[in-house]
Chain A
């Protein structure tokens, strides 16, 4: 079975631009979470979606938004990019967005903002 997939693998943008990152969960998983990992730090939670509804939001500005589609895939959007948004963006999926559900991560999208 295919794992969590993310696209694109790498992306280079300039300050002020907008970016959209995509994630496809493991088949049968209805929950998707997004994390940001800045170099040298652990991943930080951004959003969780379950059945197209936002279930949780981390401490990120409103420039960050996300949505989940009927097929449970998800997009993360970041507006007005800043240099500090350069990071590895990780998507994780699980079945039911429950505490006991294991989250499985994709390979990530490396975003570089110049």
Chain B
């Protein structure tokens, strides 16, 4: 599975969009980009995933660059409850390989 690079932490104002970047320059053609988040001491929560095209669901949008070497998770209107560790995972096999993630702090 390809390695991902995420900033250690980010801050976002409540009500504003949160844009979380992820670099995955060694991604292979059949590997998916998955995003999970983990609120303190809880199990990781699935957010969204994609292969090539941009994806949107009720939680977030995923923007994948055309060369697929990076992606951005967008939370359109961040709330205090979105404060969590966000993990970007490139998945080529059955298991999920988690990195350190990005700590997103949403502030009022």
Contact = CB atoms under 8 A, between A and B. Distances in A.
A4 to B, nearest CB: 8
Given A41-B100, A43-B98, A56 B93 contact: yes
A99 B92 contact: yes
Contact of A105 (B41, B45, B97): B45
A44 B98 contact: yes
A98 B98 contact: no
Scoring B32, B42, B94, B100 by chain A CB atoms within 10 A of each residue's CB, the highest score goes to: B94
A103 B46 contact: yes
Given A41-B100, A42-B100, A100-B32, A107 B95 contact: no
Contact of B101 (A42, A44, A55, A102): A42
A56 B44 CA distance: 20
A59 to B, nearest CB: 11
Given A42-B87, A100-B32, A56 B43 contact: no
Interface residues of B, number: 23
B100 A48 contact: no
Q: Is the interface of B mostly helix, strand, loop or mixed?
A: loop
B94 A106 contact: no
Contacts of A56: 93-95
Contacts of B95: 33, 45, 48, 56, 58
Contact of B43 (A41, A44, A90, A98): A90
Interface string B12-51: 0000000000000000001010101000011111100100
Interface string A23-56: 0000000010101000001111100100000011
Nearest to A48: B94
A106 B42 CA distance: 8
A103 B96 contact: yes
Contacts of B36: 105
Contacts of A104: 46
Interface of A: 4, 31, 33, 35, 41-45, 48, 55-56, 58, 88, 90, 92, 97-100, 102-108, 110
